[in-house]
């Protein structure tokens, strides 16, 4: 009699173990899927926030807009150039910044006569495809490591071009204030 009870307990234990492992696996799969969709939602929310910030500072009729940025001396920050496609079709856009070579292979904005210089990294003539009626952005990185006097505003020009229309060109000022 004891061996039948022992056998029943052993079988029940194995069955419970299999059920527990199965439920644990299903739970982990569900948790993984929820985590992946949460990452997508966070990215979408991030893009929405960036777009909302740009719309606060940028006029709705502008094709290109760069909000004014502030940073501390010695910092490195990533900023965005916002592009709005007001055309009737999707298009490829490219952006160039008016920079000078401040060191061998290093480009930036030079105001060394008054307050120093900042280095700027960006994808030169970087392209972005934007659907009609939508906005997009291209990042650029500013390093304020050689500023001699603060506060100081560094100003340059960003130029937007459309691949489909060689006559299209929009310009805007890029202002980075170092404090």
71 and 44 share one domain: no
Question: Among candidates 103, 176, 100, which has minimal Cα distance to 140?
Answer: 176
83 and 25 share one domain: no
Q: What residue numbers bound the domain in which 3 lies? A: 1-57
Q: Structurally, how many domains does the chain consist of?
A: 2
Domain edge (last residue) among 13, 34, 57: 57
53 and 113 share one domain: no
142 and 72 share one domain: yes
Proportion of the chain above pLDDT 90, given as a percent: 3
CB neighbour list of residue 21: distance below 8 Å, 6 or more residues apart: none
The CATH number of whichever domain residue 82 belongs to comes to 2.60.40.10
Cα angle for residues 81, 82, 83 (degrees, 5° grid): 125
pLDDT value, residue 2: 67
As given in the structure block, the two tokens for residue 129 are 């495809």
Tell me: cis bond preceding 47? Omega within 30 of 0 counts. no
82 and 109 share one domain: yes
Residue 26 has pLDDT above 60, yes or no: yes
pLDDT value, residue 50: 66
**Local structure of residue 138 (DSSP, 8 states):** E
116 and 92 share one domain: yes
83 and 164 share one domain: yes
Mean of the per-residue pLDDT values for the chain? Answer: 83
Of the ranges 56-60, 75-79, 85-89, 135-139, which one carries the lowest mean pLDDT score? 56-60
Residue 138 in contact with residue 84, Cβ under 8 Å?
Answer: no
How far apart, in whole angstroms, are the C-alpha atoms of residue 138 and residue 11?
62
109 and 94 share one domain: yes
Domain edge (last residue) among 16, 40, 57: 57
Q: Report residue 2: phi and psi, to 5°.
A: -65, -35
């Amino acid at each position: 009699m004891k061996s039948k009870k022992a056998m029943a307990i052993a079988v029940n234990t194995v069955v419970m173990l299999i059920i527990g492992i199965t439920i644990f696996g299903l739970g982990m799969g569900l948790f993984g899927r929820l985590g992946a969709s949460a990452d997508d939602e966070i990215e979408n929310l991030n893009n929405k926030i960036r777009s909302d910030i740009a719309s606060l500072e940028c006029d709705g009729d502008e094709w290109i807009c760069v909000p004014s940025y502030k940073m501390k001396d010695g910092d490195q920050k990533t900023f965005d150039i916002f592009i709005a496609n007001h055309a009737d079709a999707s298009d490829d856009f490219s952006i160039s910044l008016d920079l000078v070579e401040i060191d061998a292979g290093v480009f930036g904005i030079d105001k060394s006569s008054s307050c120093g210089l900042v280095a700027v990294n960006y994808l030169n003539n970087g392209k972005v495809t934007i659907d009609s009626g939508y906005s997009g952005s291209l990042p650029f990185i500013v390093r304020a490591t050689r500023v001699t006097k603060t506060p100081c505003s560094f100003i340059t020009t960003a130029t937007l071009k459309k691949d489909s229309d060689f006559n299209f060109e929009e310009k805007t000022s890029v202002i980075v204030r170092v404090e």
